[in-house]
Amino acid sequence: MLKNYFKIAWRNILKSKIFSAVNILGLAAGLASFIIILLYLNYELSYDSWNPELKKVYKVSVYDNGDYLPQSYAPLASFLKQNYPDAEAGTAVQGGMDFDVLLNANDKKIYQKGLVTVDSSFLKVFPYKIIQGDAKTALDKPDAMVISRELAHKLFGNSDPIGKTIKVFNAFTGTVTAIMQEPETPTHFNAQILMRFPYEKQSMHWGNRSYQTYIKLKQPVTEAKLENDINRLYYNERLKKGNQSFEAYKKAGQKSYLFTDAVPKIHNFPKHGESNFTTVSILLILAILLLLAGTINFSNLAIARSIGRAKEVGVRKVLGSNKKQLVLQFMSETTLQCIISLGIAVFIVLFSLKFINSSFNITLSFWHQNHIASIFIQIGLSLLLVILLSGLYPSLLVSRFNTAKVLKGNYSSGNKGTFFRN
Give the span between the Cα atoms of 23 and 296, in whole angstroms.
11
Q: Give, as one character, the DSSP assignment of residue 56.
A: G
Q: Do residues 83 and 132 make contact, with C-beta atoms less than 8 angstroms apart?
A: no
* Residue 422: per-residue pLDDT: 39
Torsion of CA 130, 134, 137, 139, to 10 degrees: -40
pLDDT of amino acid 417: 45
Report CA dihedral (163, 164, 168, 172) to the nearest 10 degrees: 50
Positive or negative torsion for Cα 135, 138, 139, 144: negative
Q: Is 262 in a helix, a strand, or coil?
A: strand
Q: Which residue positions in the chain have pLDDT lower than 70?
A: 1-6, 8-9, 96-97, 199-200, 202, 240-244, 253-254, 306-324, 326, 368-370, 397-422
Report pLDDT for 171. 83
pTM: 0.79
How many Å apart are CA 277 and CA 292, to the nearest integer?
23
Q: Do the beta carbons of residue 247 and residue 253 sit within 8 Å?
A: no
| Nearest alpha carbon to residue 310 among 408, 189, 164 | 408
Rama region for 170: left / alpha / beta (φ>0; ψ in -120 to 50; rest): left
Q: Are strands 115-118 and 193-196 parallel, antiparallel or unpaired?
A: parallel
Q: Are strands 212-217 and 87-94 parallel, antiparallel or unpaired?
A: antiparallel
Q: Which residues contact 248 (CB under 8 A, 6 or more apart)?
A: none
Kindly give the pairing relationship between strand 67-69 and strand 57-64.
antiparallel
CA-CA distance, 106 to 155, in Å (whole number)?
A: 7
pLDDT digits (tens, 9 = 90+) for 245-280: 777 777 776 678 899 999 999 988 888 877 778 888
Nearest to 286 by CA among 86, 40, 104: 40
- Going from N- to C-terminal start, the domains of the chain cover 2-47+276-421, 52-265
pLDDT of residue 237: 80
> What is the model's pLDDT at position 173?
92
Within 10 A of 178 (CB to CB), how many other CB atoms are there?
Answer: 23
Using CA atoms, how far apart are residues 397 and 334, in angstroms rounded to an integer? 14
